[in-house]
Structure 1
């Protein structure tokens, strides 16, 4: 079969790459959708009907399919297998990080665990890198051999796609954390808080004189001042909470969560604490602030009648609500300092939650909750 990638004129190839790169850089489309489009389009273009992104863990010998297109039952999102039984182990072991298989039987793969498990007749893959090393692989494959060998141009394109995925993964991780160097974060927070405090004091004094005359304007100014106060408080906290927890102590999560709930304007919201084992080792003050910010975030974004639940996990705990949830495209962005989807949000609340988790060397993720809302899961916790 003729393969469009290898039989294009130079001008057509340039147009194709330009179109492809424009799609990859489209800011109006989230990474997951762009990746899905890429896998689907390029699987057809390569005449290799299975396209997939994997995440590998060499320490635990596992491979998980992160995103996929095609009908192969073992190459679907969420599927796992031992890394030692996959083609991808060979990909990441190559000096250049790429692997090509044109005819698995002819090339001696029939006794290999990867062929025995997946029965792929042809394959091309390239290694995807992340901040802390190898993330996984980006691959295209077929159950049948390729009639025409996978050539250098095609392998180069797959490598280019893998580099783009690497860039997106690293960029998302950086957006999820402050771009300010940790050693400068505390100084920056104090400076901005100080600059806000002085005009706020003057304005608050003038505001007192206006009460009873122009009430609507006063209410708006009052609300703006309250928001500035929250920003100042958050900034002052932001500079301190990333310091490692030096003297952790036993903290009862049930008591901590209940105390934090009392500190939040809950309006008509309700809290359910469903924890069997409740003691963790940490900083009680910072842990209380973590719960406060997650509760405030749920009420602020889901509405006054939201139902909030705190539950246990095998290695941690979660806070979830029954609100509208957070779209997959925004789940990494919500932890970025200053990022807010509402005009009256400070943009620092969830960043502080991340700082508290990092200070305890815990992991923090956001997913969809059991009732369709947002679930913030804290894992890597020694629960007793």
Structure 2
């Protein structure tokens, strides 16, 4: 029995060390990639001031996607990390703050009365921001997004086309996307944040036949 416990401890320490190396590597790669991309962005802005062509617009879109990929890959490097410290977080505040921080065009946000929960505020922001981006990217700029409370958690639903039942299990896989401009990592990050809190996340159909993401196993603050 002692040997089994020792082997398990060694295995856990090995996984922890591996995760630390992966996070460090992702940080270095992210830093080294951002520098040349920053130069490209500055030069591209100067070129756009001197001439107008759709080729420069397409280059700018590709640059934006590259930067989004770096952000998502750096976030995914945290996979497997449990949240270190939890604090009381007012869900309604985080929901609205995240909405203001995401490009939502003409989309509308509706928020029900929400509880205070125990969570890592920074990681929770990642969850909501990626759910919002997913709704706007796949449902259009006029989509309505609704956030509400459940008995043991909360949900985020939209009025978009929804996700076919046959594809719902695959949406949380890294690289899954129907949009060429999408990175395919957004919903994987959502699942990762939920896992880090020991929550569960599932996708179903909203009342308006759009997508509804339900996060359960959430502990509220009395």
Q: Sort the TM-score into its range (normalised by shorter chain).
A: 0.7 to 0.9
Shift of 1:214: 4.3
Other-structure match for 2:125 = 288
Alignment of 1:335-354 (within 5 A): 335-354=172-191
* Partner secondary structure for residue 333 of structure 1: coil
* Partner secondary structure for residue 230 of structure 1: helix
Other-structure match for 1:333 = 170
Shift of 1:278: 1.1
Deviation per CA, 1:345-384, whole angstroms, max 9, x where unpaired? 0111111111110110000111111110001100001124
Shift of 1:201: 3.3
**Does 1:189 pair with 2:26?**
yes
Which protein has the larger Cα radius of gyration, Structure 1 or Structure 2?
1
Shift of 1:216: 1.4
Q: Is the 8 A contact 1:241 1:286 kept in 2?
A: no
Other-structure match for 1:143 = none
TM-score for the superposition, normalised by structure 1 = 0.50
Q: How many residues align?
A: 203
**Separation in 1 of the partners of 2:22 and 2:131?**
22
Q: Is the 8 A contact 1:280 1:381 kept in 2?
A: yes
**Does 1:234 pair with 2:72?**
yes
Runs of 4+ in 1 over 6 A off after TM superposition: none
The alpha-carbon distance between structure 1 residues 301 and 351, as it changes in their structure 2 partners (threshold 3 A), is same
**Separation in 1 of the partners of 2:106 and 2:42?**
33
Unmatched 5+ stretches in structure 1: 1-180
**Separation in 2 of the partners of 1:182 and 1:303?**
37
TM-score for the superposition, normalised by structure 2 = 0.83
Deviation per CA, 1:217-264, whole angstroms, max 9, x where unpaired? 111111111111111111112213642112100000011101111101
- Between 1 and 2, higher relative CO (CA 8 Å, sep ≥ 6) is seen in 2
Alignment of 1:10-159 (within 5 A): none
Other-structure match for 1:218 = 56
**Separation in 1 of the partners of 2:107 and 2:94?**
18
The alpha-carbon distance between structure 1 residues 365 and 263, as it changes in their structure 2 partners (threshold 3 A), is same
* Partner secondary structure for residue 171 of structure 2: helix
The alpha-carbon distance between structure 1 residues 256 and 296, as it changes in their structure 2 partners (threshold 3 A), is same
Q: Is the 8 A contact 2:19 2:78 kept in 1?
A: no
Deviation per CA, 1:95-147, whole angstroms, max 9, x where unpaired? xxxxxxxxxxxxxxxxxxxxxxxxxxxxxxxxxxxxxxxxxxxxxxxxxxxxx
Other-structure match for 2:136 = 299
Aligned-residue Cα RMSD (Å) equals 2.0
The alpha-carbon distance between structure 1 residues 300 and 226, as it changes in their structure 2 partners (threshold 3 A), is same
Other-structure match for 1:135 = none
**Separation in 1 of the partners of 2:145 and 2:186?**
17
Unmatched 5+ stretches in structure 2: 1-17
Structure with more helix by fraction:
2
